[in-house]
């Protein structure tokens, strides 16, 4: 068995990373692609007798770097002198004599994949294979369709790709095994004819497509859905690959957390870190949003006035009391910039608020108990003699899940009003509490009674639409409303978010049912989590649990272990202020099926 590696391309989309080197010299986590590839090739149990590399762009540098052998396996080179005018069909055409020499592994040099893929290919008894993976949204290029016995029945080029058929598609992973007989009697003759007829600016998989149309391939697909791989064409691909192939759990954890979302780029990752409602929107509401996709994509959204009207209708509060935000984060930033004097903060907390203030203006309260529980009375006693102009209350609190009843919050608002203190209440998770939406402060009667009260709510969290970036700030303080409206952009909301607000009223009953369904699942999940011997689970009225790790792992070790063993991401809280490096984690509550996957992973650690 021999190997042919195609490495002639220029890799223009990688920009400065390939300014002076070919693509396979790019490093992923400090290791060059070509070094990783060669190490994997020489590690297979069935020895390879030679490796042929087709070079082109900066080929001299690659040849000088690799030399004429790699761990006693000869390296031979074929040069493509017109690499800048051709595609990979010509590179393979130039290597057709080498292809005819022996059974061959054909590999492209811009791939990264986990150890074991080559072993899987070489141990498979079928002589002619294409490594494939079930279609995912990040994949681009040639697709195939398999029959029930994994025979490739159709090659689907980009021009024929249809999103209506994605359930049938597999992406070619650009690793092939060809027998010498297949190469000599089928592939090479068609390669020569196709190149002569269509020119050199084509792709070698087009030849396989022609053979499949003639029912002449005898080529099977070898799915590797349970194995990691990635094709690196640009800097974003490189960023994702460095996350997927991080060398240890701690590094991988850090790389995921630095992304602050966008985990949909990792379809196999199960995210127990970010906090959303798993039961809303309903499928019917999603279908209505899909039905208007073309219009919403191509049309401008309305300005601030119309969207404020929609938001006031959404919560049935006066329009003059409402500020709409591109997520709660936009409103938090603007609000924090307007506050004067000192701000009282309960720690540990959602740090988006205090991070927007000078540390010298913060007055901190840390509950003196392992569960980080506190009451209104404790807050009032602590801040009674403190020089604060504003007091922040996250309710339920994040990450502790501590909850203060609506009655007690209003008592705190009265206490603050007497002392001329502005009370800021973030109730992003309040709909998950026992009593659900009846605990909200977003009522005209409450806002009218307390001009010192500012209520902020992230619609991403409880309504399950984080991609829409919607948030609301409400207060009867007219001057503050005007300041914040002027500070945010007039078109701060996109058309999809606007349309979502417009149709929400039709689905409000579904939302209330979703909240009740969530509360029931949270209680079940809580009972099951308590069975994990190394966790102390703190009761919560939100859509997450704060847990103390009692033994076996540190918080960082547990996060890394779940990433490595089950591709599950949870939140390490040990570095957050207020935890004093103690081993706490936060686990989101998802739906029953996903919660059970986490439970199973924890049990088997």
Q: Domain 283-509 - what CATH class?
A: alpha beta
Chain centre to alpha carbon of residue 447: 37
Whole-number pLDDT of residue 347: 96
**Number of helical (H) and strand (E) elements in the chain, helices listed first:** 23, 27
Lowest mean pLDDT among 103-107, 240-244, 547-551: 240-244
Strand partners, 376: none
Strand partners, 456: 426, 473
User: Exposed/middle/buried for 369, CB within 10 Å: 0-12, 13-18, 19+?
Assistant: exposed
- Show the tokens assigned to 363: 């007055």
DSSP string, 241-289: HHHHT-SSHHHHHHHHHTT-S-GGGSTT-EE-SS---TT-S-HHHHHHH
**Directed axis angle between helix 33-42 and helix 59-66, to 10°?**
50
Contact 564, 552 (CB under 8 A): no
Alpha helices in 292-405 (DSSP H): 293-298, 304-315, 328-338, 376-383
Average pLDDT over residues 352-365: 96
Whole-number pLDDT of residue 213: 86
Lowest mean pLDDT among 159-163, 372-376, 582-586, 595-599: 159-163
Average pLDDT over residues 571-595: 94
- Rounded Cα–Cα distance for residues 470 and 202 (Å): 46
CB neighbour list of residue 434: distance below 8 Å, 6 or more residues apart: 519, 541
Residue 34's H or E segment, with its range, is helix 33-42
Whole-number pLDDT of residue 177: 97
Question: What is the percent of the chain where pLDDT is above 90?
Answer: 86
- Mode of pairing for the β-strands spanning 362-365 and 343-346: parallel
- The 3-class secondary structure across 136-157, one letter per residue, is CCCCCCCEEEECCCCEEEEEEC
Q: For 434-463, write each residue's pLDDT tens digit.
A: 999 999 999 999 999 999 999 999 998 899
Closest by CA to 426, choosing from 328, 322, 511, is 328
Average pLDDT over residues 104-110: 96
Query: pTM of the entire structure?
Result: 0.88
Residues of each domain in the chain carrying CATH 3.40.640.10 = 283-509
Contact 113, 228 (CB under 8 A): yes
Has residue 555 got a pLDDT over 90? yes
Residues of each domain in the chain carrying CATH 3.90.550.10 = 2-240
Q: For 124-161, write each residue's pLDDT tens digit.
A: 999 999 999 999 988 888 899 999 999 999 999 888 89
SS3 538: strand
CATH topology of domain 260-272+519-603: 3.90.1150
CATH topology of domain 2-240: Spore Coat Polysaccharide Biosynthesis Protein SpsA; Chain A (3.90.550)
Contact 121, 166 (CB under 8 A): no
Closest by CA to 141, choosing from 237, 32, 55, is 237
Q: For 465-477, write each residue's pLDDT tens digit.
A: 999 999 999 999 9
Has residue 294 got a pLDDT over 80? yes
């Amino acid at each position: 068995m021999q190997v042919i590696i195609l490495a002639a391309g220029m890799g223009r989309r990688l920009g400065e990373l390939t300014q002076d080197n070919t693509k396979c010299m790019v490093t992923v986590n400090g290791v060059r692609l070509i070094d990783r590839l060669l190490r994997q090739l020489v590690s297979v149990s069935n020895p390879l007798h030679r490796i042929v590399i087709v070079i082109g762009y900066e080929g001299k540098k690659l040849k000088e770097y690799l030399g004429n052998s790699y761990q006693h396996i000869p390296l031979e080179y074929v040069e493509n002198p017109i690499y800048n005018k051709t595609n990979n069909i010509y590179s393979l055409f130039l290597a057709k004599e080498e292809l005819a020499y022996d059974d061959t592994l054909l590999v492209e040099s811009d791939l990264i994949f986990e150890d074991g893929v080559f072993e899987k290919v070489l141990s498979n008894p079928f002589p002619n294979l294409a490594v494939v993976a079930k279609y995912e949204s990040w994949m681009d290029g040639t697709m195939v369709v398999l029959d029930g016995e994994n025979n490739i029945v159709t090659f689907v080029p980009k021009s024929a790709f249809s999103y209506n058929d994605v359930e049938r598609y597999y992406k070619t992973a650009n690793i092939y095994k060809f027998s010498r007989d297949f190469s000599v009697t089928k592939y090479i003759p068609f390669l020569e004819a196709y190149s002569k007829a269509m020119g050199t600016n084509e792709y070698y998989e087009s030849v396989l497509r022609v053979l499949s149309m003639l029912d002449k391939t005898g080529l099977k697909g070898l799915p590797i859905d349970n194995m990691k791989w990635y094709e690196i064409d640009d800097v974003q691909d490189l960023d994702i690959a460095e996350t997927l192939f991080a060398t240890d759990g701690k590094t991988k954890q850090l790389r995921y957390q630095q992304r602050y979302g966008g985990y949909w780029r990792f379809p196999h990752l199960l995210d127990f870190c970010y906090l959303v409602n798993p039961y809303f929107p309903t499928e019917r509401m999603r279908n209505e949003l899909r039905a208007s996709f073309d219009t919403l994509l191509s049309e401008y959204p309305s300005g601030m006035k119309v969207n404020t009207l929609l938001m006031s209708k959404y919560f049935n509060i006066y329009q003059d009391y409402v500020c709409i935000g591109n997520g709660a984060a936009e409103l938090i930033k603007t609000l924090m910039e307007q506050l004067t004097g000192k701000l009282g903060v309960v720690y540990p907390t959602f740090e988006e608020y205090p991070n927007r203030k000078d540390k010298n203006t913060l007055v901190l309260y840390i509950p003196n108990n392992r569960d980080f529980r506190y009451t209104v009375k404790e807050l009032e006693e602590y801040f009674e003699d403190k020089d604060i102009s504003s007091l922040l209350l996250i309710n339920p609190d994040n990450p502790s899940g501590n909850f203060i009843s609506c009655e007690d919050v209003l008592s705190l608002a009265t206490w603050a009003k007497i002392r001329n203190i502005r009370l800021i209440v973030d109730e992003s998770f309040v709909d998950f509490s026992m009593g659900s939406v009846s605990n909200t402060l977003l009522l005209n009667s409450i806002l009218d009674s307390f001009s010192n009260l500012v209520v902020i709510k992230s619609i991403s969290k409880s309504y399950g639409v984080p991609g829409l970036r919607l948030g609301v700030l409400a207060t009867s303080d007219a001057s503050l409303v005007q300041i914040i409206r002027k500070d945010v952009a007039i078109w701060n909301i996109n058309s999809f978010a606007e349309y979502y607000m417009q149709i929400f009223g039709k689905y409000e009953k579904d939302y209330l049912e979703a909240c009740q369904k969530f509360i029931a699942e949270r209680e079940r999940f809580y009972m099951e989590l308590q069975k994990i011997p190394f966790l102390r689970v703190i009761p919560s009225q939100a859509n997450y649990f704060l847990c103390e790790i009692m033994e076996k792992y540190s918080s960082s070790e547990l996060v890394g272990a779940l990433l490595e063993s089950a591709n599950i991401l949870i939140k390490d809280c040990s570095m957050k202020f207020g935890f004093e490096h103690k081993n706490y984690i936060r686990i989101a509550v998802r739906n029953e099926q996903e919660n059970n996957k986490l439970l199973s992973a924890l049990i088997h650690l």
